């Protein structure tokens, strides 16, 4: 079973993931950006590998996942159950804008999800914030 169509990457839901990038000590904005980019890369890799456990580890205990056409999913354990239902493969993310300041960050990006339809691979491209 796979997650609902177009759900594989919901950048708005990444607000739950971004705190994982934070460090208790003060870091430079460049370090913060690198931490967010590394987290996005881990997300893409785990999604493409179908690794629900790695995806689950990216979320805080009190995270809320906001999948389209689905009720919010609250808490790391429930999010893990959601990801164990399946992920899509062929995800690529392009960051268009990334701002991090004072422990808060947002990412605007575009993703491509390669989908197999009627025996051919079709790219699905969407922009998200």
Please tell me the distance from the alpha carbon of residue 124 to that of residue 81, in angstroms, as a whole number.
25
Encoded tokens for 97:
């804008």
Supply the Cα-derived Rg of the chain in whole angstroms: 15
pLDDT tens figures, 74-85: 999 999 999 999
**What backbone torsions phi and psi does residue 118 show, to the nearest 5 degrees?**
45, 50
Residue whose token pair is 């000590």: 25
Task: Give the pLDDT mean for 28-40.
Answer: 89
Kindly indicate whether the domain formed by 11-128 is annotated with CATH number 3.10.450.50.
Answer: yes
**Domain ranges within the chain, ordered by starting residue:** 11-128
Of all residues in the chain, the percent with pLDDT exceeding 90 is 43
The phi-psi region of residue 6 (left if phi > 0; otherwise alpha if psi is between -120 and 50; otherwise beta) is: left
Task: In whole angstroms, give the CA distance from residue 51 to residue 43.
Answer: 9
With cut-offs at 50, 70 and 90, classify the pLDDT of residue 4.
very low
pLDDT for 87 equals 87
pLDDT digits (tens, 9 = 90+) for 111-126: 888 765 555 555 555 5
Task: Return d(Cα 129, Cα 109) in angstroms, integer.
Answer: 6
How far apart CA 91 and CA 100 sit, in angstroms, is 24
């Amino acid at each position: 079973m796979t997650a609902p169509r177009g759900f594989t990457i919901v950048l708005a839901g990444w607000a739950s993931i971004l705190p994982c990038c934070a460090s208790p000590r003060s870091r430079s904005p460049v370090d913060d950006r690198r931490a967010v980019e590394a987290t996005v890369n881990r997300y893409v890799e785990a999604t493409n590998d179908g690794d629900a456990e790695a995806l689950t580890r990216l979320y805080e205990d009190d995270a809320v996942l906001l999948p389209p056409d689905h009720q919010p999913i609250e808490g790391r354990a429930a999010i893990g159950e959601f990801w164990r239902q399946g992920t899509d493969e062929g995800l690529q993310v392009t960051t268009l804008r990334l701002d991090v300041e004072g422990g808060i960050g947002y990412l605007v990006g575009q993703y491509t999800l390669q989908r197999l339809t009627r025996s051919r691979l079709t790219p699905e491209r969407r922009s998200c914030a």
